[in-house]
């Protein structure tokens, strides 16, 4: 949804990308809730992989959100 909202090749700023960013952060917090403080097992390994995947999605959404503003600040639009 964030990629479609951004219209990436056109480099236009879209403040509605804040909504997918917040949803991704809330989803990541919900995934973090599944971590257990007991012994290490394969369940925790799976949750850790999901957390890394969530982090990748959050970074991509924040890049799509902030990239047009950075171009505008540097004057390269």
**Confidence (pLDDT) at 51:** 96
How far apart are the C-alpha atoms of 60 and 14, rounded to whole Å?
Answer: 14
- Kindly report the pTM of this predicted structure: 0.81
Task: Give the mean pLDDT of 6-30.
Answer: 88
How far apart are the C-alpha atoms of 59 and 77, rounded to whole Å?
Answer: 22
Name the more confident of 48 and 6: 48
pLDDT tens across 47-74, in order?
999 999 999 999 999 998 888 888 777 8
Q: Supply the mean pLDDT for the chain.
A: 88
């Amino acid at each position: 949804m964030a990629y479609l909202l951004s219209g990436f090749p056109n480099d236009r700023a879209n403040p509605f990308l804040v909504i997918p960013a917040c949803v991704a952060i809330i989803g990541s917090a919900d995934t973090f809730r599944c971590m257990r403080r007991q012994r290490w097992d394969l369940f925790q390994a799976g949750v850790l992989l999901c957390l890394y995947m969530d982090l990748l999605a959050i970074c991509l959404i924040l890049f799509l959100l902030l990239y047009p503003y950075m171009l505008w600040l540097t004057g390269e639009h």
